[in-house]
Amino acid sequence: MTSSNSYFHVMRWLTLLMTLPPTPTRHRVGVWRKLQRMGAVRLRGAGWLLPETPETTELFQWLVQEIQSFRGEVTLLRVDRVETMTDAQLAELFHKARSAEYGAAVRGCREILGQLDRLRASHRGSVGTLRGKLDGVKRELDRIESIDYLKSPAGERARTLWETTAKRLRAVETRPRAASPRRPGALPPRGSTWVTRPRPHIDRIASAWLIKRFCDPDARFTFADAADAARKGIPFDVLGAEFGHHAEDCTFETLVRRFGLKDRRVRLIAEIVHEADLHDGKFTRNEATGVDLAVRALAEATPDDDELLTKGMAMFDGLYAVLKSKTR
């Protein structure tokens, strides 16, 4: 508890005391769910506790207004310590709550690992489906970590298992594929429709930007599951696609090679995208973490895939312009 103790020395607490009307029950359920989602833990009686930060203060203040709106009784307190509990006991409350959530993510990873083993043994099943599941586990891990105020030990174990699962899945996704029937060196005609998986992230967004800016300014983009991609256009960053991961290359790198691009800034972006997408340490690009975070934030704020792709491509326009000073 050494690290937690040092944290407690500078911590203040928000305590929410409330009494809710017995009916309608939807108000009680709604409040309880919001408290769970913001990471609050329950004290004895009707009190709920959160560390005091600007974000948690705002969350509790909004909840106070909501409770008052349906005539509930609520009091919000700021306290330096909880006299009836030790630091270790308070930490255990938060660790226990987060451990249950991390446990669900761990079970999700183990299920994917089991399905990967069965897929490799029988060569039947969809890797694309497993990728979707693993991406879902990652989003849930990110959410839990955002409310893991006291850094539960279960968090590190869950993240490590996720990374192991991701590595295993990438090994299956990037294994050698049958040769493409397309004539070697041939590129799709101008004005083609390029197809990729829904909810694009950094490799897919960067690849679309590369296609539009350096290969086909008239290119159009759409989204489909891996099974339907080839019927709707030119697949990219889809399992088995000609324009996808090959050997150690992410899709962006594959496209750079196929387009024969020598642009120094594009090469720098390729290293950033590779590190942000694969996290294999091949390139030490400090920009990768920031660009990856920016894309994730954009995805969280943009539910529409077409809009997300457009905004993400604009971001790479900006990155390309900023990198100009580094290539002089």
Amino acid symbol at 90:
L
Q: What pLDDT is stored for residue 48 in this prediction?
A: 93
Query: What is the spatial distance between Cα 202 and Cα 220, in angstroms, rounded to a whole number?
Result: 18
pTM above 0.85, yes or no: no
3-state secondary structure of 82: coil
The pair of structure tokens assigned to 248 is 């150690």
Element (H, E) at 106: helix 87-122
Instruction: List domains and CATH numbers for the chain.
Output: 11-84 (3.30.70.240), 88-173 (1.20.58), 193-327 (no CATH)
Q: What pLDDT is stored for residue 280 in this prediction?
A: 76
pLDDT by residue, tens only, the chain of 328 residues: 334 444 455 678 999 999 899 889 999 899 999 999 999 999 877 699 999 988 899 999 999 999 999 999 999 999 988 888 888 898 999 999 999 999 999 999 999 999 888 877 665 556 778 888 898 999 999 999 999 999 999 999 999 999 999 998 888 876 654 434 445 457 888 899 999 999 999 999 999 999 999 989 999 999 998 778 888 899 999 887 889 998 889 999 999 999 999 999 999 999 999 998 888 788 888 889 999 999 999 999 999 999 999 999 999 999 999 987 665 5
CA 310 vs CA 4, 146, 212, 271: distances in Å: 43, 27, 11, 22
Q: Answer whether 50's CB lies under 8 Å from 13's CB.
A: yes
The pair of structure tokens assigned to 197 is 């998986």
Q: Answer whether 313's CB lies under 8 Å from 208's CB.
A: yes
Element (H, E) at 98: helix 87-122
Say if residue 217 is preceded by a cis peptide, omega within 30 of 0. Answer: no
In a 13 Å sphere around the CA of 90, the CA atoms on its Cβ side amount to 24
Element (H, E) at 41: strand 41-42
Q: Output phi, psi for 39, to 5 deg.
A: 85, 15
CA 237 vs CA 137, 206, 253, 279: distances in Å: 20, 11, 11, 17
* Cα three-residue angle 115-113-169, rounded to 5 degrees: 95
